[in-house]
Structure 1
Amino acid sequence: MSQSTESTTESNPFTKPGFIIAAVLVVALLAAGIVIFLLPKGQSDAQPAPPAPGTGSTPAASPSASAAGSSVCGLPTSTETSLGAAPETKWELVGTMAAPTDPQIGPGKTDAQGIRSCFAHTPKGALYAAVNLWALGSDPSKERAIAEQLAAKGPGREAGMKAPLTQAPASSVKIQIAGFNVSYTANQAVVDLAFKADNGALASVRTTLLWQDGDWKGVVADNGAPLEEPRQVRDLSGFIPWSGA
């Protein structure tokens, strides 16, 4: 193989070893139903950095939401800004995915539709909110309720609520949380979650959350598209391993 051909192969993710397996995982992610948050809309391979608070299409936290930082259901608030170890937690099956639950972290509320909300104003609370959001999305019937109740206020939320319901592709591949990283400020968190499929494939997605109205809400772009796309990862290097299944 010529040097130019090797270079082209290396720069093209579609020709890298393991891509086909990883692509199956991405299909499973799309089938999970979290369309307004994580479904790829474009063709770019760029990996944008987490948005800074109050910039771009990320809606700013409302004064009432950020003033005291109180949880809408009375869960704790702390001054912690990092999470360097995997929390010990109880896991519950939500849809087809194991999700964490803790009486001091959340979810503090589960409504008649099964929507899990109200998480602590802490790095752990943001992590639990992100994982529960994914788990809820494994049930396509909750798509509209997720947009209405768990999306941050702004044009993206409105666009997501008006979007046609998704016809998710059928897939026998199941995915579970495998690890995480949390970047945290008082009113915004970026949770990078690693997923593992039952065929061994790995992928990750960054989910941006804002603290609004006493809870963590998922951020989408103004047109309802995601801020991030799923991306292949070779292993869990750089992630804190954490799983419930």
Structure 2
Amino acid sequence: MAIFSKSDDGDEMDGDSLWESRGFIASVIVVVAVVICGLAWLVLGGGGDDPNTNPTVDPTGVPTETPTVEPTGPPATADPTPTDPLPTDPVSPGASPRPGACTIKPGDQRMAATAPTGVFWRFEGGILVPFKPTVGPLVHDSSGVLSCFAHSPIGSVFAAMNSLAQAQDAQNAERVIRARVAPGPGRDRALADARLARISPTPFVGGKAQVQFVGYKYVDCSTNRCVLSVAVQSGAEVDKVAGLVVVMKWSGGDWKIDLRSDGSISGDPDVLGSLDGYVRFRGA
């Protein structure tokens, strides 16, 4: 089972679709290369017929003001437009996690309707991810896997974005899954499939579209569990975004992705006509 759950309405699939290779989809579970390809497939024409389809989970947020990113310059933007440039250089010149113990404080427990300020943005595998000393990630291990996020709603957002971005490296996917996915049947399935993907990778035809995180929405959030919808923009179609539902669980002293028992994150991502209802949050 893949990171996305594809419907079982027959075996025929569009030959141009990145869902064409069942082996590829099944083999990389939580590797963000599949997230990228799945989102690209959706926003580039393989998804639903209506590009203005709303997310399957009703919005709980409201449109927000454009937040500022104080240390580094580029603020979050309004709804994506075809003229929005994609980032080409790192935004953060110096801020970075470090090895060592996690000593971060819980922080603000509110589900703020505006994006946090004072955020540094760093590249992880071509995707800009947020870093803030009071939110995380504060720690990396010997393999570079990031951890140590604030026990707060915004901490779950930072954890989701950083974990998804890091998981795109198939050779490091097992370490990322082991460290950044909550224990359970879903993680066991994801580890098995990631191991298979590393040993016997299944090639597929099609390019990998460049994507960036552009926003988020709290669908539901409690002390130890947050359901988020993360908005992702495709480099090929910058006027469109897709929403990916990610469940984050506080486990082992940190926020981790909580997979379903079949190893999937959620259903198919939703094409969004705009970022209405989302907190706009991006690195460039």
Report the TM-score, using the length of structure 1 for normalisation.
Answer: 0.70
Q: Does 1:125 align with 2:155?
A: yes
RMSD: 3.1
What's the offset of the Cα at 1:167?
4.1
Question: What corresponds to 1:109 in structure 2?
Answer: 139
Establish whether residue 93 from structure 1 lines up as the match of residue 130 from structure 2.
no
User: Between the two proteins, what is the percent identity of the paired residues?
Assistant: 23
| Alpha carbons of structure 1 residues 86 and 79: separation in structure 2 relative to 1, 3 Å | closer
Question: For structure 1, which runs of at least 5 residues remain unmatched after alignment?
Answer: 1-19, 51-71
The residue type paired with residue 176 of structure 2 is I
Letter matched to residue 36 of structure 1: V
Please name the residue that 1:221 is paired with: 260
The CA distance in 2 between the partners of 1:49 and 1:94, in whole Å, is: 28
Residues 168/220 of structure 1: CA separation in 2 closer, same or farther (3 Å cut): farther
Q: Provide the rounded CA distance (Å) in 1 between the counterparts of 2:139 and 2:235.
A: 30
Amino acid in structure 1 at the alignment position of 2:223: A
**Structure 2: 5+ residue runs without aligned partners?**
1-13, 39-47, 49-54, 59-100
Match of 1:175 in 2: 211
* Aligned position for 2:52: none
Contact 1:78 1:122 in 2 (8 A): yes
Please name the residue that 1:66 is paired with.
none
Runs of 4+ in structure 1 over 6 Å off? none
Matches within 5 A, 1:48-197: 49=57, 73-78=102-107, 80-88=109-117, 89-163=119-193, 164-165=196-197, 167=202, 169=204, 170-182=206-218, 183-197=220-234
Q: Work out the CA distance in 2 between the residues paired with 1:91 and 1:79.
A: 20
CA–CA separation in structure 2 for the residues paired with 1:92 and 1:84: 23
1:204 pairs with 2:269: no
Kept in 1: contact 2:102–2:148 (CA 8 A): yes
- How many residues end up aligned between the 2 structures? 195
**Aligned partners of 2:245 and 2:265 also within 8 Å:** no
Which structure dedicates a bigger proportion of its chain to helix? 1
Letter in 2 for 1:178: V
